[in-house]
DNA sequence: GCACCGATTGACAGCGTTGACAATTCATTT
DNA sequence: AAATGAATTGTCAACGCTGTCAATCGGTGC
């Protein structure tokens, strides 16, 4: 007599389904878990019973009996605008395998981070964890997860570990491609706004830029390479430094759209005609890219797909046969260069 | 012999803790669940044992035995930029009560939505659900939840139900206040960009605007009130219609920042000096508000707090004594009007 | 027809915790 | 000192499912 008062419509249990199908509970269990060794005819009978009774297996019971949790964690720190897209992709993939996603905000700077992580994984018995940057680069997080033997997927980690799968995009190639577009339009002096130090994206995007410049035999003026931190406010400073250079560049490559937007603002304040006198490109295809004028040329990240793939890696992860000697999956997803109004031919007479 | 190969460090169970503390498992359970009727001295002994063994209760077992799930659902459709903030607030509140948040993307237009909801709540045994708009207004969702007897909190629902708690902000008052700022600066002809039809915010923001206009005896020119849908692209059209009116307004109130940004773009294309010839205000304090020039005056939404409060309502929700006759909690959170560069005194000579 | 073997299926004991209820303890009262 | 009753603690079964392993089924070869 657990819930006596409320005459809730009887929730079907596995026993009831078994009875309906004329088999034992264990056989129903086999069908639910898609185990082999069930005759097709039997399976269909069970499936019919499940359908008829609208049966939903009890997650808690399954978890308790099977020492599983059916839960995957998504740990993040800065809720950026990409998070919701990413998690939506991850949830979609999880659903296909009847798993669920637990999102957990964490604070990268928290001195007690390791304990927080430990508590989470032990309490929830997570079957895997997806780490968004900058969490994907914190040794204490990685160590805690590894110690607990929980598979973790690192998203765009700065330092790849040989023992952990990760999901990356080829930022370097895309940055190079975008830079090529500028060079093709006659730009020779190009400024670069760096992202936050320690992020993989910061490094890769710059390298791609440098690749293109070198390939065309163009010099990179150190004074035109300024450090930002991916944020708009910093971007303003950064753009000012670049644009107040005695020999002003004819184009600026910003490491993300927020900083690109900042460059647009600064240029406008300095009465520099856009895009005629200055071309600007960003990265990410953030919402702001199309909300300013001129719209930013940029690189679209397949964020939702990354979420899907990350979840998929966890799900595919087969329990290690002594030390996962399998090749580490490191899918690279394709980026898309998007050209918009913010780039134009270099002004005539420019070096 | 459930997990034979991996010599995992023995996970403490309630029995082990009980033994360590020299009490029965049930007493440990009482302490964990913070039940009364445990002598202080005993409680402390148990607490010490828990601490010493670094014991984490098994969620699945607790859920199974106690017919609970310790899970709250957050259902959303359009992952907007506010989602991650909201969910972070909700998770924070959940943690304080040792609950967990399951985020579940849903598709409002899905013809099978009711079934999807039903599957989710039955599979996860959710203890409560937070509905973000526009899901908070879908009858089939509300009905499914109600039928299952699951407490639901509606965020900014268009149509309040008397039987369901909701979380709102007083958009109307804030819109009025912001409009007042324009009027005080001498603006008389003010355009208005409406949001998507059917959203509570759309209605309330317009009403606040109208309140202010009426209070000052100003007429609202229907030609200056145009329908958008909260999106930038639509906003462009909308702004064009307003600004191409023969008698152009000296200010525009956009129902959100994305549309406000659109108005800025259009004004720039039409060579209207900002803010001298045209003041523009938005709503939400979205990232874009500070990424354009001039920066948008707007209204900041306490999104994270709303998440906290929503979770709190679920958690506080006491099982109904026949039909929850308690007063429906409907907290209103305070909005903050933020004045930035996008507003200025009305041009001299304006009507 | 019978032994034999792989394919199916079932019986049963938990998984770690809590609900119901019984037992014990302790402070008071008579 | 025994009785009384509230406070505290313990016993035991059950929650709904899966792992283990035994039982049964069906077909094969001789």
Q: What is the DSSP string of B210-241?
A: HHHHHHTT----GGGEEE--S-HHHHHHHHHH
A81 neighbourhood in chain B, CB within 8 Å: 81, 84, 287
CA closest to D10 C1', residue:
B24
To the nearest whole angstrom, how far is the Cα of A257 from the nearest Cα of chain B?
10
User: Rg for chain B (alpha carbons), in Å?
Assistant: 26
Q: In this model, does residue B329 exceed pLDDT 70?
A: no
Question: How far does the CA of A42 sit from the C1' of D22, in Å?
Answer: 21
Residue A320 pLDDT: 46
Determine whether the interchain pair A293/B269 forms a contact, defined as Cβ–Cβ distance below 8 Å: yes
Q: Which residue ranges in chain A fall short of pLDDT 70?
A: 1-10, 161-162, 318-330, 350-351
Cβ–Cβ under 8 Å, residues B175 and B253 = yes
The residue among A239, A137, A153, A140 whose CA lies nearest residue A194 is: A239
Cis, peptide link before residue B288, omega less than 30° from 0: no
Residue A5 pLDDT: 34
Question: How far does the CA of B302 sit from the C1' of D23, in Å?
Answer: 65
Distance of CA B39 to the CA centre of its chain: 42
Residue A5: DSSP 8-state: S
- In this prediction, residue B333 has a pLDDT band, given cuts at 50, 70 and 90, of confident
Residue A154 phi, psi dihedral angles, 5° rounding: -100, 130
As a whole number of angstroms, the distance between CA A301 and CA A292 comes to 19
Query: For chain B, what is the mean pLDDT?
Result: 90
Distance of CA B215 to the CA centre of its chain: 30
Q: List bases in chain C with any atom under 7 Å of a protein Cβ.
A: 7-12, 14-20
A80 neighbourhood in chain B, CB within 8 Å: 84
Judging by DSSP bridges, how do beta strands B152-155 and B166-169 pair with one another?
A: parallel
Q: Is the CB of B33 under 7 A from strand C?
A: yes
Question: How far does the CA of B30 sit from the C1' of D12, in Å?
Answer: 17
Distance of CA A309 to the CA centre of its chain: 9
Residue B327 pLDDT: 56
Determine whether the interchain pair B103/A104 forms a contact, defined as Cβ–Cβ distance below 8 Å: no
Neighbouring C-beta atoms of residue A343, cutoff 10 Å: 23
Distance of CA A42 to the CA centre of its chain: 42
Cβ–Cβ under 8 Å, residues A294 and A274 = yes
Average pLDDT (B76-96) is: 92
Which is it for the CA torsion B85, B87, B90, B95, positive or negative?
negative
To the nearest whole angstrom, how far is the Cα of A232 from the nearest Cα of chain B?
7
Strand partners for B129:
B73, B152
Residue B322 pLDDT: 43
Determine whether the interchain pair B58/A125 forms a contact, defined as Cβ–Cβ distance below 8 Å: yes
Q: Is the CB of B3 under 7 A from strand D?
A: no
Q: Is the CB of B32 under 7 A from strand C?
A: yes
The residue among A93, A91, A101, A104 whose CA lies nearest residue A132 is: A104
Determine whether the interchain pair A232/B291 forms a contact, defined as Cβ–Cβ distance below 8 Å: yes
Q: Is the CB of A64 under 7 A from strand C?
A: yes
Instruction: Count the residues in chain B.
Output: 351
Judging by DSSP bridges, how do beta strands A166-169 and A152-155 pair with one another?
A: parallel
Question: How far does the CA of A25 sit from the C1' of C1, in Å?
Answer: 36
A79 neighbourhood in chain B, CB within 8 Å: 84-85, 87-88
Which is it for the CA torsion A220, A223, A229, A232, positive or negative?
negative
Distance of CA B269 to the CA centre of its chain: 35
As a whole number of angstroms, the distance between CA A251 and CA A231 comes to 20
Determine whether the interchain pair A105/B91 forms a contact, defined as Cβ–Cβ distance below 8 Å: yes
Residue B10 pLDDT: 62
Q: Is the CB of A98 under 7 A from strand D?
A: no
Question: How far does the CA of A17 sit from the C1' of D17, in Å?
Answer: 13
Q: In this model, does residue B294 exceed pLDDT 70?
A: yes
Determine whether the interchain pair B8/A268 forms a contact, defined as Cβ–Cβ distance below 8 Å: no
Instruction: Report the percentage of chain B scoring pLDDT > 90.
Output: 79
Per residue in B141-167, pLDDT (tens digit) is: 999 999 899 999 999 888 776 677 899
Q: List bases in chain D with any atom under 7 Å of a protein Cβ.
A: 7-12, 14-20
Q: Where are the alpha helices (DSSP H) in B99-223?
A: 113-124, 139-147, 171-184, 200-215
A287 neighbourhood in chain B, CB within 8 Å: 81, 232, 258, 287-288
Per residue in B245-272, pLDDT (tens digit) is: 999 999 999 999 999 999 999 999 999 9
Q: In this model, does residue B34 exceed pLDDT 90?
A: yes
To the nearest whole angstrom, how far is the Cα of B54 from the nearest Cα of chain A?
9
| Cβ contacts of A39 within 8 Å, gap of 6 or more | none
With CA atoms as reference, the chain A residue closest to B10 would be A148
Q: Is the CB of A57 under 7 A from strand D?
A: yes
The residue among A284, A229, A285, A274 whose CA lies nearest residue A252 is: A274
A56 neighbourhood in chain B, CB within 8 Å: 119, 122-123
Distance of CA B200 to the CA centre of its chain: 13
Q: Which of A125, A269, A288 sits opposite B287 (nearest CB)?
A: A288
Cβ–Cβ under 8 Å, residues B290 and A232 = yes
With CA atoms as reference, the chain B residue closest to A147 would be B8
Q: In this model, does residue B293 exceed pLDDT 70?
A: yes
Question: How far does the CA of A39 sit from the C1' of D30, in Å?
Answer: 29
Cβ–Cβ under 8 Å, residues A133 and A105 = no
B124 neighbourhood in chain A, CB within 8 Å: 59, 100
Residue A159 pLDDT: 78
- In this prediction, residue B350 has a pLDDT band, given cuts at 50, 70 and 90, of low
As a whole number of angstroms, the distance between CA B238 and CA B248 comes to 14
Residue A329 pLDDT: 64
B122 neighbourhood in chain A, CB within 8 Å: 11, 56
Instruction: Count the residues in chain A.
Output: 351
Instruction: Say which nucleotide is closest to residue B3, CA to C1' distance.
Output: D19
The residue among B83, B62, B130, B61 whose CA lies nearest residue B102 is: B130
To the nearest whole angstrom, how far is the Cα of B219 from the nearest Cα of chain A?
31
Secondary structure element (H or E) that encloses residue A101, with its range? strand A100-105
B72 neighbourhood in chain A, CB within 8 Å: none
Q: Which of A63, A100, A293 sits opposite B265 (nearest CB)?
A: A293
Question: Helix or strand or coil: residue A341?
Answer: coil
DSSP output for A280-328: EE-SB--GGGGSSSSPPBEEE--HHHHHHHHHHHHHH----SSS--SPP
């Amino acid at each position: 007599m657990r819930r006596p008062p409320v005459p809730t419509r009887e929730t079907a249990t596995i026993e009831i389904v078994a009875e309906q199908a004329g088999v034992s509970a264990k056989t129903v269990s086999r069908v639910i878990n898609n185990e082999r060794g069930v005759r097709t005819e039997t399976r269909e009978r069970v499936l019919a019973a499940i359908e008829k009774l609208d049966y939903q297996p009890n997650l808690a019971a399954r978890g308790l009996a099977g020492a599983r949790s059916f839960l995957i964690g998504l740990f993040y720190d800065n809720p950026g605008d990409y998070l919701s897209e990413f998690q939506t992709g991850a949830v979609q993939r999880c659903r296909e395998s009847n798993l669920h996603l637990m999102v957990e905000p964490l604070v990268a700077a928290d001195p007690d981070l390791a304990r927080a992580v430990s508590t989470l994984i032990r309490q929830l018995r997570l079957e895997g964890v997806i780490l968004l940057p900058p969490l994907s680069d914190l040794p204490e997080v990685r160590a805690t997860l590894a110690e607990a033997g929980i598979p973790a997927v690192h998203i765009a980690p700065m330092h790849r570990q040989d023992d952990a799968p990760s999901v990356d995009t080829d930022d370097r190639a895309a940055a190079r491609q975008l830079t090529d577009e500028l060079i093709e339009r006659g730009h020779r002096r190009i400024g670069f706004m760096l992202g936050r130090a320690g992020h993989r994206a910061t490094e890769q995007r710059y390298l791609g830029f440098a690749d293109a410049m070198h390939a065309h035999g163009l010099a990179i003026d150190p004074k035109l390479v300024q450090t930002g931190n991916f944020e708009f406010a910093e971007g303003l400073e950064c753009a000012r430094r670049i644009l107040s250079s005695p020999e002003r560049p004819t184009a600026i490559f910003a490491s993300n759209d927020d900083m690109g937007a900042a460059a647009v603002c600064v240029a406008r304040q300095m009465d520099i005609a856009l895009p005629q006198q200055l071309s600007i490109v960003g990265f990410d295809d953030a919402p702001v890219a199309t909300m300013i004028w001129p719209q930013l040329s940029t690189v679209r990240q397949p964020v939702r797909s990354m979420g899907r793939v990350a979840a998929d890696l966890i799900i595919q992860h087969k329990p290690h046969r002594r030390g996962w000697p399998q090749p580490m999956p490191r899918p690279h997803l394709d980026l898309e260069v998007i050209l918009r109004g913010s780039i134009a031919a270099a002004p005539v007479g420019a070096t």
